Amino acid sequence: MNVITSEELMAMAEEKKFLAIREKLSQSNPIDIAQLFEEIPPERVAPLFRLLPKELASEVFVEMDPELQQKLIMCFSDFELHVLVDELYVDDTVDIIEEMPANVVKRILASADPAMRKDINEILKYPGDSAGSIMTTEYVTLKENMTVGEAFDRIRQVGPDSETIYTCYVTSRDRRLLGVVTVKELLLADKEMSVGDLMTENVIFAYTDEDREETANRIRDYGLMALPVTDRERRLVGIVTVDDALNVITEESEEDFSKMAGVTPTETPYIKTSVWTLWKARVPWLLLLMISATFTGAIISGFEHKLAACAVLIGFIPMLMDTGGNSGSQSSVSVIRALSLGDISIKNFFKVLFKEFRVGLLCGLTLAACNLLKMLLVDRLLFGGRDVSVHVMLTVSMTLCFTVIVAKMVGSMLPLLAKAMKLDPAVMAAPVISTLVDAISLLIYFGLASLLVLPQFS
358-377 binders of a copy of itself (CB under 8 A): 358-359, 362-363, 366-367, 370-371, 374
* 400-429 positions binding a copy of itself, by CB under 8 A: 400, 404
* 7-46 positions binding a copy of itself, by CB under 8 A: 27-29, 31
Long-range interactions of 33-39: CB distance < 8 A, separation 24+: 33/60, 33/63, 34/60, 34/61, 34/63, 34/64, 35/2, 35/63, 36/2, 36/4, 36/5, 36/6, 36/9, 37/64, 37/68, 38/64, 38/65, 38/68, 39/6
Minimum distance of a copy of itself from residue 254's CB (angstroms): 6
Would you give the end-to-end CA distance of the chain in angstroms?
A: 77
393 binds a copy of itself (CB under 8 A): no
User: In this chain, which stretch among 81-89, 105-113, 352-360, 447-455 interacts with a copy of itself, using CB under 8 A?
Assistant: 352-360
Question: Where would I find the beta strands (DSSP E) of 269-358?
Answer: none
Asked if 248 contacts 134 with a C-beta cutoff of 8 angstroms, the reply is: yes
User: In this chain, which stretch among 40-48, 78-86, 100-108, 156-164 interacts with a copy of itself, using CB under 8 A?
Assistant: 156-164
Q: Which helix (H) or strand (E) holds 217?
A: helix 212-221
- Of 181, 139, 184, 195, the C-alpha closest to 164 is 139
Instruction: Please tell me the distance from the alpha carbon of residue 211 to that of residue 214, in angstroms, as a whole number.
Output: 5
Among 47, 128, 315, 455, binds a copy of itself (CB under 8 A): 315
22 vs 82 by CB, closer to a copy of itself: 22
* 246-305 positions binding a copy of itself, by CB under 8 A: 246-247, 249-250, 253-254, 256-258, 260-263, 269-271, 275-276, 278-279, 282-283, 285-287, 289-291, 293-294, 296-298, 300-301, 304-305
90 binds a copy of itself (CB under 8 A): no
Instruction: Please tell me the distance from the alpha carbon of residue 218 to that of residue 213, in angstroms, as a whole number.
Output: 9
Minimum distance of a copy of itself from residue 53's CB (angstroms): 14
User: In this chain, which stretch among 43-51, 143-151, 153-161, 231-239 interacts with a copy of itself, using CB under 8 A?
Assistant: 153-161
43 vs 233 by CB, closer to a copy of itself: 233
| Sign of the torsion angle spanned by Cα atoms 172, 177, 179, 181 | positive
Query: What is the DSSP secondary structure assignment for residue 268, as one 8-state letter?
Result: S
* 178-237 positions binding a copy of itself, by CB under 8 A: 183-184, 187-188, 201-202, 204-205, 219-225
Minimum distance of a copy of itself from residue 17's CB (angstroms): 20
2 vs 70 by CB, closer to a copy of itself: 2
Among 68, 124, 165, 376, binds a copy of itself (CB under 8 A): 165
> How many CB atoms are located within 10 Å of the residue 155 CB?
17
Size of the site for a copy of itself (CB under 8 A): 116
Minimum distance of a copy of itself from residue 185's CB (angstroms): 10
Instruction: Please tell me the distance from the alpha carbon of residue 248 to that of residue 242, in angstroms, as a whole number.
Output: 10
81 vs 339 by CB, closer to a copy of itself: 339
Among 60, 438, 448, 453, binds a copy of itself (CB under 8 A): 438
Q: What are phi and psi of 266, to 5 degrees?
A: -115, 155
Instruction: Please tell me the distance from the alpha carbon of residue 33 to that of residue 10, in angstroms, as a whole number.
Output: 13
- Of 375, 428, 431, the C-alpha closest to 399 is 375
355 binds a copy of itself (CB under 8 A): yes
> How many CB atoms are located within 10 Å of the residue 411 CB?
30
Q: How far is CA 352 from CA 1, 323, 338, 430, in A?
A: 48, 21, 11, 20
Minimum distance of a copy of itself from residue 431's CB (angstroms): 9
Asked if 95 contacts 83 with a C-beta cutoff of 8 angstroms, the reply is: no
121 vs 366 by CB, closer to a copy of itself: 366
Minimum distance of a copy of itself from residue 333's CB (angstroms): 4
